[in-house]
Amino acid sequence: MGTTGVKELRNIVVFFVVGLILIALGWWLNSAFGERMTVSRLSPDETFRASLTEKATGFDRNFQIRIENLITNATITIFRSPDEGRPYGTERLIWSKDGTKLLLVGRHFFVKEDLFLDNGDQLYFLYEVPTGRSWCNSAEVTRFSPLKAIMIEGIDFTEPVRLKRKL
């Protein structure tokens, strides 16, 4: 093999190695700083998927709630949080049985009003799918109407949502 062939082979190897390094770097950056889904729940009729996703920054925990229409493939972001709710995975999304309302509850939110459930979770965010209206119990978020205990009365959820009685 002549010097031209060796140079071409070396260029191919260098190009290949640099390509592998760039792919590995992209994968690492996405896993280190990309999004991760920590909670997901299908609506009772399985036409919507609600998910809680967050950036994997390691500093602040700013999550968002998205609803994906599984028929049209349209996705909307219905809520962006302030830095709260650590550690991730301590919250739950709960659908109403008719699929018209979505409730976020959790243990580590900074709330305006103590709205504890029997299991220790706090009511945090309520979304009405048909109208797009939202209510939030965050001490920091002011762009939504406040979530009040009376708002969940009469809603039949897919799992128990019972407020703890105040003594």
Winning range, highest mean pLDDT, from 3-7, 17-21, 103-107, 162-166: 103-107
37-41: average pLDDT: 83
Average pLDDT of the chain is: 82
Whether 85 shows a pLDDT value over 60: the answer reads no
Ramachandran bin of 68, using left for φ above 0, alpha for ψ from -120 to 50, beta for the remaining angles: beta
List Cβ neighbours of 50 (8 Å cut-off, separation of 6 or more): 40, 41, 42, 43, 65, 66, 67, 68, 93, 95, 102
pLDDT in tens, 51-83: 998 875 555 657 789 999 999 999 999 998 876
- The widest CA-to-CA distance across the chain, in whole angstroms, is 90
Rounded to 5 degrees, what are φ and ψ at 70?
Answer: -75, -10
Q: How many CB atoms lie within 10 A of CB 43?
A: 21
DSSP helix/strand/coil, 89: coil
